[in-house]
Structure 1
Amino acid sequence: MHDKPLSRLTGRLRDRRRSGARTAHGDTGPDAFGLDEDKVGGFTAGTLGPEDEARLAEEVAALLPLRWSLSPRAEERLSQVNDRVGGDRRLLEWLDGHPGLPRLTARLLVLAENLDHFGENTAVVDAVRARRGRSPLPEELRGVLPPGTDEETLPDIAQRVEELLGERRPQDAARLALATTDWLRGVARDAAPDSPEVTGMSELMAHLHTDIAQASAP
């Protein structure tokens, strides 16, 4: 995974947008998910073998998109893993080291973090609004975004990506993510050339498009 998209992580992954997030995932209850106690214990003690560590990474990847509704026990075990690797950024880097769902989940969550960040940037929001005034949304984004454009537009996409992950639809999440990164690069091409914020956004979206495409390839 490229370093640039990781550089904008806040270090508060598990608390990101907690107050504004919708409870998703249909009938899925928070107690239906968790981390294996023995694996967590072995991992924190440094005695877990590679195969079990890979299985633990799968469990963490399945749990992270549901972090808004975890049971106290699941939250505690996730915190133990998080502390063992050294914090949120290191947690995503650790997941990225395991192919399959862990790597894809890590890269999609990095995209979500960056979409939240750029959703707060006035120049980016203005460029998105201008693009939407000139061109229709790509098919993958129709139904995801309301007609208006404001500071919630990009976070709305981030939230839908996470919802799809929580619904165990990682390939659908990847398709939405790739459509989003491609669309935002088009937003940047249409924007004023003297907008460093939009240029920086375009560069990060290019990195993320490559990262997510690689992680979601069969």
Structure 2
Amino acid sequence: MHDKPLSRVTGRLRRRLRNEAHDPPGDPGPDAFGLDQYLANRFEDGALAPEDEARLAEEVATLLPRRWSLSPRAEERLSQVNDRLGGYRQVLEWLDGHPGLPRLTARLLVLTENLDHFGENTAVVDAVRAQRGRSPLPAALRDVLPPATDEETLPDIAQRLEGLLGDRRPEDATRLALATTEWLGGVARGAAPDSPEVTEMSELMSHLHTDIDRAAPTA
């Protein structure tokens, strides 16, 4: 994974509201999710075998997108992994070292961090609004974004991505992520030349597009 998108990941987790629309019928709810206590304990002690660490990474990748609605026991076990690695960014870097769902989840969550960050930037929001006025949205985003563009537009995409991952729909999350990064990667082309924030955002989105495409599930 490129280092630049990771620079936007901090230890401060942005709180998301639970979105009932993301809970599929029959979903057992967050209490059914958790990490294997034995694996979490052994990992915390630094004594986990590589094959078991890969299994733990799969469990963390399943759990992390739903970190806002976990049972206290699940939160405690996730904290064991977080504390052992040194923070949220380190957890994502660790997941990225395990191919499959862990790597894909890490790269998608790095994207959500960047969407949250740039959604707070006025220059970026203005450039995205202008882009929408110049050309139609990609098909994958037409049913995702409301007509108006404001500071919630990019965080709304981030929340949708986390919801898809939490619903265990990585293929759908990947399609949305690739459409988003391709679209935002081109925003700088129509922006004012003195917009360094917009240029930076588009460059990072291009990096993330490549990262996510390489981690995408294959048919």
What do residues 90-122 of structure 1 show as CA deviations (whole Å, max 9, x unaligned)? Answer: 000000000000000000000000000000000
Count of residues paired in the alignment: 215
Which range is displaced more, 114-123 or 23-32?
23-32
Question: How far did residue 133 of structure 1 move?
Answer: 1.1
Q: Mark the CA change 1:175 to 1:12 in structure 2 (over 3 Å): closer, same or farther.
A: same
Which structure 1 residue ranges, 5 or more long, are not aligned?
none
Question: How far did residue 192 of structure 1 move?
Answer: 1.1
For 1:17, give the aligned amino acid.
Answer: R
1:13-52 matches, cutoff 5 A? 13=13, 16-18=14-16, 20-23=17-20, 24-26=22-24, 27-28=26-27, 29-52=29-52
What do residues 33-82 of structure 1 show as CA deviations (whole Å, max 9, x unaligned)? Answer: 10000100111111110001000000000001111110000000000000
1:45-60 matches, cutoff 5 A? 45-60=45-60
For 1:3, give the aligned amino acid.
Answer: D
Which range is displaced more, 102-111 or 133-142?
133-142
Which TM-score applies when normalising by structure 1?
A: 0.96
Counterpart check, 1:183 vs 2:183: yes
Aligned to 1:152: 152
User: Identity, % of aligned pairs?
Assistant: 78
Contact kept in structure 1, 2:15 and 2:68, CA below 8 Å: no
Q: Distance in 1 between matches of 2:42 and 2:15?
A: 31
Aligned to 2:200: 200
Contact kept in structure 1, 2:100 and 2:217, CA below 8 Å: no
Q: Distance in 1 between matches of 2:146 and 2:51?
A: 44
SS in 1 for 2:168: coil
What do residues 123-165 of structure 1 show as CA deviations (whole Å, max 9, x unaligned)? Answer: 0000010111121110100111111000000000001111110
Question: How far did residue 10 of structure 1 move?
Answer: 2.3
SS in 2 for 1:17: coil
Counterpart check, 1:92 vs 2:88: no
Contact kept in structure 1, 2:58 and 2:102, CA below 8 Å: yes
For 2:202, give the aligned amino acid.
Answer: S
For 2:167, give the aligned amino acid.
Answer: E
Contact kept in structure 2, 1:21 and 1:159, CA below 8 Å: no
Aligned to 1:119: 119
Aligned to 2:73: 73
Question: How far did residue 21 of structure 1 move?
Answer: 4.8
Which range is displaced more, 41-50 or 105-114?
41-50
Aligned to 1:106: 106
Q: Distance in 2 between matches of 1:189 and 1:171?
A: 29
Q: Distance in 2 between matches of 1:7 and 1:133?
A: 30
Q: Distance in 1 between matches of 2:8 and 2:105?
A: 17
Q: Distance in 1 between matches of 2:153 and 2:214?
A: 26
For 1:165, give the aligned amino acid.
Answer: L
Aligned to 2:11: 11
Contact kept in structure 1, 2:92 and 2:106, CA below 8 Å: yes
Aligned to 1:215: 215
Contact kept in structure 2, 1:112 and 1:159, CA below 8 Å: yes
Contact kept in structure 1, 2:108 and 2:161, CA below 8 Å: yes
Q: Distance in 2 between matches of 1:100 and 1:157?
A: 23
